[in-house]
Amino acid sequence: MAEPELVDVDVVVLGLGVGGEEVAGRLAEAGLSVVGIERRLVGGECPYWGCIPSKMMIRAANAVAEARRVAEFAGEADVRPDWAPVAKRIREEATDNWDDRVAVERFTGKGGRFVRGSGALDGPGRVRVGDRVFRARHGIVLGTGTRPFVPPLPGLADTPYWTNQQAIEVEELPASLLVLGGGAIGLELAQVFARFGVEVTVLEASGRVLAVEEPESSEVAAAALRADGVRIATEVRAERVDHDGRAFTLRAVGGAEFTAERLLVVTGRRAHLNELGLDTVGVDPGQRFLAVDDRMRVADGIWGVGDLTGEGAFTHIAMYQAAIVVADVLDHVRRARAGADASGAASAVGGAARTEGTGIAGGVPHADYRALPRVTFTDPEIGAVGLTERQARERGINVQVGVSRLDSSTRGWIHRGDGFVKLVADADRGVLVGATSVGPAGGEVLSGLVVAVHAEVPLSRLRHMIYAYPTFHRAIETAVRDLS
Ligand SMILES: Cc1cc2nc3c(=O)[nH]c(=O)nc-3n(C[C@H](O)[C@H](O)[C@H](O)COP(=O)(O)OP(=O)(O)OC[C@H]3O[C@@H](n4cnc5c(N)ncnc54)[C@H](O)[C@@H]3O)c2cc1C
């Protein structure tokens, strides 16, 4: 094999999804020489097949649903949904027809060097992409994300099933759709497609949809989807999938069969750590997720960021972690340079001028996931932060629970929207450790609850504050009073 071309840089970022792009761009802006490597599209899953296009779909589907509510409040409206404008908006506004030229230029405009290709670690401080090896003076950041997990069901691999990618790229809707997986992504897409007239069936292996959230959230979400015509089947253990050229048939343990024109598999996501050459740096490639410490360090000179760390598959987690990585890498560089200067050596890292403008004020923040917010953007939205009641009890916390139904608040009654606020408090410390906010603006109402959990605002202060009337968030005040 020919000797690889060797390229020396300060930092190599492998995978330019949400987390990697943020790290690479900010380190380049700080004056470091940064190589960013991406094999698909710069920006990753979120802008092309995740958050942004799915929320465009939801915006459209909610407009359809709201127009259908005219009959309840304001006379008549003739609603004839059409998928074409939705697909066009996703193609033209969200994804530039799945082209990342703008994102690449954004990165190179900050001074970064972009490499399109698939990379892997090649020993300490080295990342190989084809016949080039990048040698990192200061560090390597891994941000390679996750890919859809497709269960090893007999028959499935040979069928033209969809993952989120095909569901987001769809130009013409099928007549019917099976959604395998009743998590956040499955429910969001199921409701969208149902509102555009697709006959949707959600198949969930556990006893309830949104199984990681409060049981009350699962109930509201299931009721809302059923009201949109979605069929929901729980405790369905898929056994086999067949496709006869026109339709899918999914057979479940016990013999039940489900048939539809399309099958969407949304059964979770996996980090493929075995592809990253981790063994060449002494890190276990057999882990499910990449273990990192609270400064996102994997090993000496290696950081991890985003979904692959398993701390929560959310864009806001990737961005939060990216800020920590940037601070820690810059701190590392500053110390290395200070050491080099102190020893009287000429700067080994590209000259003292490069430290200017790095914005290092000392003190790297440590990751803290106690107040991790998450929102399922169904209608109504399911927002949650911190621990569920069950998680809090399992941790031995002296739990107090307060609940208020949205329709008992003035705004909820006016709106005729379903939802609730549920608070989980640590009675011994007098603070919230978790909360759920479900309603037409559940994700927005959540923000106050995130502050309360994050800042450990004493319950006594939450009891004696002023909540604007008549807002959805006044349900928080009632739930605080309900804590017992
Ligand atoms: C349908 C859907 C809806 C979602 N909605 C939301 C939402 O509303 N809110 C939210 O917060 N999150 C949402 N998410 C999750 C969000 O998209 C992810 O949390 C986010 O994209 C994670 O960013 P990341 O940088 O960790 O990884 P990714 O975005 O997955 O990026 C990783 C990148 O690394 C590249 N890569 C992998 N291996 C290599 C290699 N060896 N060499 C070079 N490049 C490589 C990949 O091509 C990819 O571009 C959604 C996800 C989906 C699928």
To the nearest 10°, the Cα dihedral for 90, 95, 97, 100? 180
pLDDT at 343: 65
In single-letter form, the type of residue at position 393 comes to R
CA of 50 to the centre of ligand 1 (A): 7
Nearest Cα neighbor of 6 from 131, 142, 138 is 131
What does the pLDDT average to over 431-438?
98
User: How high is the mean pLDDT of the chain?
Assistant: 95
DSSP string, 226-253: HHTT-EEE-S--EEEEEE-SS-EEEEET
Amino acid identity, position 355:
T
User: What's residue 417's pLDDT?
Assistant: 87
The pLDDT of 360-381, averaged and rounded, is 89
Q: How far is the CA of 45 from the centre of ligand 1 (A)?
A: 4
**Confidence class for position 362, pLDDT limits 50, 70, 90:** low
Distance (angstroms) between ligand 1 centre and the Cα of 43 equals 8
Residue 148 CA: nearest ligand 1 atom is 53
If you measure from the C-alpha of residue 152 to the centroid of ligand 1, how many angstroms do you get, rounded to a whole number? 22
CA of 46 to the centre of ligand 1 (A): 5
DSSP states along 246-289 = S-EEEEETTS-EEEESEEEE-S-EE--GGGTTGGGGT--TT-SS
Strand partners, 178: 201, 263
Checking if the pLDDT of 361 tops 80, the result is: no
What share of the chain has pLDDT > 90, as a percent? Answer: 93
Does residue 379 have a pLDDT over 50? yes
Give mean pLDDT, residues 257-262: 98
| Residues sharing a CB contact under 8 Å with residue 180, sequence separation 6 or more, in sequence order | 151, 186, 203, 238, 250, 263, 264, 265, 266, 267
Confidence category of residue 51, pLDDT binned at 50, 70, 90: very high
Q: How confident is the model at residue 350 (pLDDT cuts 50, 70, 90)?
A: very low
pLDDT for residue 371 is more than 70: yes
Mean pLDDT throughout 197-226?
98
Rg (CA), the chain: 25
The pLDDT, as a whole number, for residue 284 is 97
Ligand 1 centroid–CA 48 distance in Å is 9
For 191, how many CA atoms within 13 A lie in the half-sphere containing its CB?
Answer: 30
Q: What is the pLDDT of residues 435-479, one digit of tens each?
A: 999 999 999 999 999 999 999 999 999 999 999 999 999 999 999
Residues enclosing ligand 1, CB less than 6 A? 14-15, 17-20, 37-40, 44-46, 49-51, 54, 118-120, 143-146, 164, 185, 275, 306-307, 313-316, 318, 377
> What is the position in ligand 1's atom list of the atom closest to the CA of 20?
25
If you take atom 45 of ligand 1, which residue's CA is the nearest one?
15
- In this prediction, residues 266-290 reach a mean pLDDT of 97
Cβ atoms of residues 43 and 100 within 8 Å: yes
Q: Which atom of ligand 1 is nearest to the CA of 269?
A: 53
CA nearest neighbour of 171 among 91, 275, 291: 91
Q: Give CA–CA dist 37/127, Å, rounded.
A: 10
Query: What pLDDT, on the 0 to 100 scale, is given for residue 1?
Result: 64
Q: Best mutation site among 51, 150, 378, 382 for ligand 1, i.e. most ligand atoms within 8 A of its Cβ?
A: 51
| 424-428: Cβ within 8 A, 24+ apart | 424/386, 424/387, 424/388, 424/389, 424/392, 424/399, 424/400, 425/399, 425/400, 425/401, 425/459, 425/483, 426/392, 426/397, 426/398, 426/399, 426/400, 427/398, 427/399, 427/400, 428/397, 428/398
Bridge-based pairing state of the strands 132-142 and 5-14:
parallel
Distance 121 CA to ligand 1 centre (A): 20
pLDDT greater than 80 at residue 288: yes
User: By alpha-carbon position, which residue is closest to atom 17 of ligand 1?
Assistant: 46
Q: Specify the pLDDT at position 339.
A: 85
- CA 17 to ligand 1 center in whole angstroms: 6
Q: In what order do the strands lie in the sheet with 199-203?
A: 231-233, 199-203, 176-180, 262-265
Confidence of residue 358 (pLDDT cuts 50, 70, 90): very low
Contact 126, 136 (CB under 8 A): yes
CB 429 within 8 A of CB 370: no
Residues 154 and 250: beta-carbon distance below 8 Å: no
Q: What is the pLDDT of residue 351?
A: 34
- Per-residue model confidence (pLDDT) at position 355: 35
| Residue ID of nearest Cα to ligand 1 atom 30 | 145
**Mean pLDDT lowest among 91-105, 269-283, 288-302, 354-368:** 354-368
Residues contacting residue 396 through CB under 8 Å, at least 6 positions apart: none
Q: Which of 121, 144, 369 to mutate to test the pocket of ligand 1 (most atoms within 8 A of CB)?
A: 144
